[in-house]
Chain A
């Protein structure tokens, strides 16, 4: 058990005392308050909050640069479409651990599911900011207004159901934290069902996010529009999610160093190497698909233009290069190089999603959509809030550290 300088126990689960008293004690902030991260993130979060108030008071036009031709901007293209791709690590890892029984990855499942759940909560939550009439958001869920022929209807339902599935997958950690032994037994019995349901949902809505843009046939640059967008979005969510796991693991292992046991520290490099190999294979499949789409679409004619060079930069610099790096560094066992490859891959996924949703959308318009600084601040505020909640949970619940002894005995 770790203790801070004052001698108080830092990370401890409830051991039988009243849950309410325990919760009140846990609500207090832990650790230092004036860290560089807090000093940077707090003002941005406050500013973001003010901007959100203005947005609901004066309308979307007061803070965004959205136009009648480009109705979806940064908040959808980055927060929702890109954020959800990065949350894909949760379904890939639960697939590996619970379906393929690759137990060696078990120690990173909880943190990834938590990361995925919070990503959905906040980035799908950011969708509410973008809705003009958010009080009607309940219409596709209850009532008699089901637009069943809409891809967005499917995506909305899947977001909701997948968040529930992820909450069930994560719930044993909450039960261990609260010392609720009976609840833990019931909840962990539901894990496999939630995983199977969750993977099915993820397959459909990761691709569904791409299918949203299928009807915008003439509006998206031909280098990025094709009928295979759903498949490309699905395949790229595999390595987007896993790169996020590698990246997040790198940071977590520094920030939450004292929570991780010796055993897991030693294991981590092996996990990173394994993930890098999977990334490389998934990226190879993705690159191959992209080449097929390029050749079949006879897209060579578009290459000699600004958008064409941008497309080449994306495909060669942010797909092919990190793929080769993943292969090479896996063979060499070079962890730092794997991390660089993961960061390049993540940049590539951001670029790809933005190319479909923002940069290549209405690329021919006389007035291009460029997000305002306010849209950026709100996006950053959403990300920072997510990190705050993530940190709060990791500092309290058994996510990175070992489960309490009683929970282990039960297994």
Chain B
């Protein structure tokens, strides 16, 4: 699918591609149903807040080791030096932990926003960033509903930093660093479909332990990172007001109108020009 599209782009002339920018929108994304995306299931009720995932993430991605410890109620955010953070929240049942990182959407806003395909949804599921393509416009950051991509504002050669689900490790046949090192087995890596089944199983087998919602099953059109929790997701700092349609749908209408306008406008304009012309103006053409 990908290769075919790329060869097609080469064949189609540069201007042709530019003019028909919206026409291949459907082809640019693979339908989620037909592809087996891999993902990570995070069970917040198992998480002990030990921050091992943070440390192993930093190690695997050559980032500075995290120094901040967790305090309940203090919400830390991922940034250009921290691809993942764990926060603590005080709930009735005691302290609840929640890990944050890129959600790896099925149909990501960032890849639809990216004009150079630097943000890229791999067929395995992870959304990765490719340095040689990115021009640093930060439109991915504007578009991402989860604010996942982060930018190195204090560098003359800035990178976009975000979780890539340890894509290089996955290609070596390993699992993501955070999954491998989690001592509480709060993180599970596997095909997204099976993760959802596993989540449902845990909910059925432990009545009362979980709220009846898998965060990421439908949010933003479905994500590869899935959450289970014992308290309402809004209480632990996840956005619960997001639409369940994929975010690229929001610009689809506009992009579909582009080819139509490109065909109709010139014809209409020429017609109007001919219609408003009179004998006198025909003489002093080009004035």
Contact = CB atoms under 8 A, between A and B. Distances in A.
Interface string A32-61: 000000000000000000000000111111
Nearest to B110: A215
Given A100-B276, A132-B158, A215-B109, A154 B21 contact: yes
A217 interface: yes
B21 A153 contact: yes
B93 interface: no
Contact of A157 (B21, B250, B277, B287): B21
B26 to A, nearest CB: 9
Question: Interface residues of A toward B: which range?
Answer: 35 or more
Interface stretch (A135-143, A235-243, A269-277): A135-143
B243 interface: yes
A62 interface: yes
A374 to B, nearest CB: 13
A191 interface: yes
A300 interface: no
Interface of A: 56-62, 64, 66, 68-69, 71-72, 95, 98-101, 103, 106, 130-134, 136-137, 139-142, 144-154, 156-157, 161, 188-189, 191-192, 196-197, 199-200, 203-204, 207-208, 211-219, 227, 230, 411
26 contacts: A68-B79, A68-B141, A101-B277, A131-B137, A133-B136, A139-B133, A144-B9, A144-B10, A147-B115, A147-B117, A148-B25, A148-B28, A149-B24, A149-B255, A154-B22, A192-B273, A200-B265, A204-B258, A213-B142, A215-B248, A216-B142, A217-B145, A218-B241, A227-B250, A411-B284, A411-B286
Interface stretch (B36-44, B45-53, B147-155, B193-201): B147-155
B114 A71 contact: no
B150 A68 contact: yes
Given A101-B281, A152-B113, A216 B143 contact: yes
Given A151-B255, A153-B21, A217-B145, 20 more contacts: A59-B155, A66-B153, A68-B141, A71-B138, A101-B277, A131-B136, A132-B158, A140-B116, A145-B117, A148-B28, A149-B28, A150-B114, A192-B286, A199-B265, A200-B266, A204-B262, A211-B254, A217-B243, A217-B250, A230-B254
